[in-house]
Structure 1
Amino acid sequence: MAVYRIRAHHGMCLAYFRGEGYSEEFTEHMYRIKEALESNPEVVIINETDDICGHCPNNLSGICTSMDKVENYDNKVLGLCGIEAGAALEWKVFEGLVKERVLDAGKRCEVCGGCQWEHLC
Structure 2
Amino acid sequence: MIELRGHHLFCLLGYRGMGYSPAYVENMTRIHQSLRNNPGTWIQIVKGPDHLCDKFPATGEYHCENLTIYDRDQDILNKMNLEIGQILKWEDIESRIREYITPSDIQVVCKTCTWRSLGVCEEGIQEIHQGKGLKEVH
Bigger mean CA deviation after superposition, 104-113 or 22-31: 104-113
Structure 2 spans left out of the alignment, 5+ residues? 120-138
| TM norm structure 2 | 0.74
SS of residue paired to 1:9: helix
Contact kept, 8 Å, 2:7 with 2:73, in 1: the verdict is yes
Count of residues paired in the alignment = 116
Shift of 1:105: 5.6
Q: Give the 3 Å change call, closer, same or farther, for CA 65–84 of structure 1 in structure 2.
A: closer
Kindly indicate whether residue 73 of structure 2 is the aligned counterpart of residue 67 of structure 1: no
Structure whose residues are more often helix by fraction: 2
- 1:28 aligned residue: 26
Structure whose residues are more often strand by fraction: 1
Contact kept, 8 Å, 1:44 with 1:88, in 2: the verdict is yes
- Across the aligned residues of Structure 1 and Structure 2, the Cα RMSD in angstroms comes to 2.2
Contact kept, 8 Å, 1:41 with 1:90, in 2: the verdict is yes
Q: Among the aligned pairs, what percent are the same residue?
A: 28
User: C-alpha distance in 1, partners of 2:64/2:43?
Assistant: 24
- 2:77 aligned residue: 78
| TM norm structure 1 | 0.84
Deviations 1:8-60 (A, max 9, x none): 11110010100111112111110001112121211011231100111112699
User: C-alpha distance in 2, partners of 1:4/1:47?
Assistant: 13
Structure 1 spans left out of the alignment, 5+ residues? none
Kindly indicate whether residue 25 of structure 2 is the aligned counterpart of residue 48 of structure 1: no
SS of residue paired to 2:107: helix
User: C-alpha distance in 2, partners of 1:6/1:59?
Assistant: 22
